[in-house]
A and B are shown apart, each in its own frame.
Chain A
Amino acid sequence: MDCLELRERYADIRDGLITAPRERRRFQRHLAQCAACREWEAALQRGVRALQATLIEPSPEFRSRLEARLALERQRIAEPQIGARAGLAAALFIAAALALIAVEGVRPHAPRPVAALPPVPFPKPVAHAGVPNVTFQDPRASVVAGNPNPYGTALVQPASRVEPVTAGR
């Protein structure tokens, strides 16, 4: 057995996982021959003994604080009815609200009558024959007079105001 094997298998030996006499003898023989491993094991055992000797106790008020908390827990367990009633009421309310939403969602709604929108003048493009000029003429010429927006509200000039472009003729 070498030092590496001893340290790797130390837990097995120390914690009684290896009981075979031959293995235990190998372990003991190496410890007897190797000063480094002996010192290592001695330091470990001294440290563990020191660790076990430095135990702490709970503070004096630990128990009283714990008893106070346990008393609150006992009270909470002993009075479940109030909480249960409120919970039941809340559950019923939520169920009623969900049912109402579901009913309203499923019921077919008759469409509400909507007021008809006034007809919007739609300008129609008209091309002048012979002259490459396009103007917009209101298709309902009869309604031009008195109509504040005879050609709609788009920014175009009425055909009557547009000077035909002459191509040098």
Chain B
Amino acid sequence: MRAVLKLTTKTGVRALERQTLHELADAQVVQRHLADDPQAFGALVDRYQSRLLNFVNRTIGDRERAEDLVQEVFIRVFRHLHRFDQTKKFSTWIYTIASNLAKNELRNRSRNPLVLFQTIKKNWESDHRPLQFEDTSARPDDLYRKRFLKDAVEQCVSHLPEHHRVVFVLRELEGKSYQEIAEITGCNLGTVKSRLNRARNSFAQLISPMVE
């Protein structure tokens, strides 16, 4: 009885709609948004915000700026979703926008020394924050190991050349297929494979002394 009452309230109905949306495929959620469903776009944001943030963060190496860029991705998707070719994969499209924004950010950074300096300074400060302010429930040596491994992995990924790094992150972190990676980066399959091989080689050589 109480459950029925809950469902009939406004919040309950909205929660049920959101749950239904989360079970739909991307293409269907897009169609619901274009049919003026007010919650549909929120479902897309829920689905992609973390994934895009990790992808962009790994590509540009700046978490705060990555959040700004991911917001920009969603604004562009919102503006142009009515023109999106629904025969194509939505995830490929949104990742292409994110990849292009990340590439532009790296290009602008290389041209502006002040932006580069500010990024290095920010990363230095986050690397040198005291360990005791982290997870207080874990043991100190576990904390150190986790922190060390996290830093090691981030360092190794950031040392990869940009075009290798993008392909490596899309494959290893996002699980994208070769075809999807080729569409997102605008390369052919052979180039994707070659870059991925080199990226893995370089990453293995860099990480090997740190994970033994």
Contacts and interface: CB of A to CB of B under 8 A. Distances in A.
Interface stretch (B71-79, B84-92, B101-109, B129-137): B71-79
A7 B71 CA distance: 38
Contacts of A62: 49, 67, 70-71
Q: Which 7 A/B pairs are nearest by Cβ-Cβ distance?
A: A47-B207, A43-B208, A44-B204, A46-B211, A54-B150, A50-B153, A43-B204
A55 B54 contact: yes
Interface centre among A40, A43, A48, A51 (most CB of B within 10 A): A51
B157 A51 contact: yes
B93 interface: no
Interface stretch (B12-20, B21-29, B110-118, B195-203): B195-203
A3 to B, nearest CB: 11
Interface in B157-209: 157, 171-173, 178, 193, 196-197, 200-201, 203-205, 207-208
Contacts of A70: 41, 74-75, 78
A15 B207 contact: no
B211 A65 contact: no
Contacts of A69: 71, 75
Q: Range of interface residues on chain B?
A: 35 or more
B208 A58 contact: no
Contacts, number: 90
Given A54-B153, A54-B154, A69-B71, A47 B173 contact: no
A50 B78 contact: no
Interface in A1-34: 7-8, 10-12, 15, 17
A57 B50 contact: yes
A59 interface: yes
B172 A55 contact: no
A104 interface: no
Nearest to A59: B67
A12 B193 contact: yes
A58 B58 CA distance: 14
B173 A51 contact: yes
Given A7-B201, A47-B156, A65-B71, A58 B49 contact: yes
A102 interface: no
A50 B201 contact: no
B150 A66 contact: no
Contacts of B57: 56
Contacts of A11: 193, 196-197, 200
A73 interface: yes
Contacts of A47: 153, 156, 203-204, 207, 211
A43 B207 contact: yes
Interface in A97-130: none
17 contacts: A8-B197, A12-B193, A17-B193, A43-B208, A43-B211, A43-B212, A48-B203, A50-B149, A52-B172, A54-B149, A54-B153, A58-B70, A62-B71, A63-B49, A66-B45, A66-B71, A73-B78
A39 B50 contact: no
Contacts of A15: 171, 178, 196
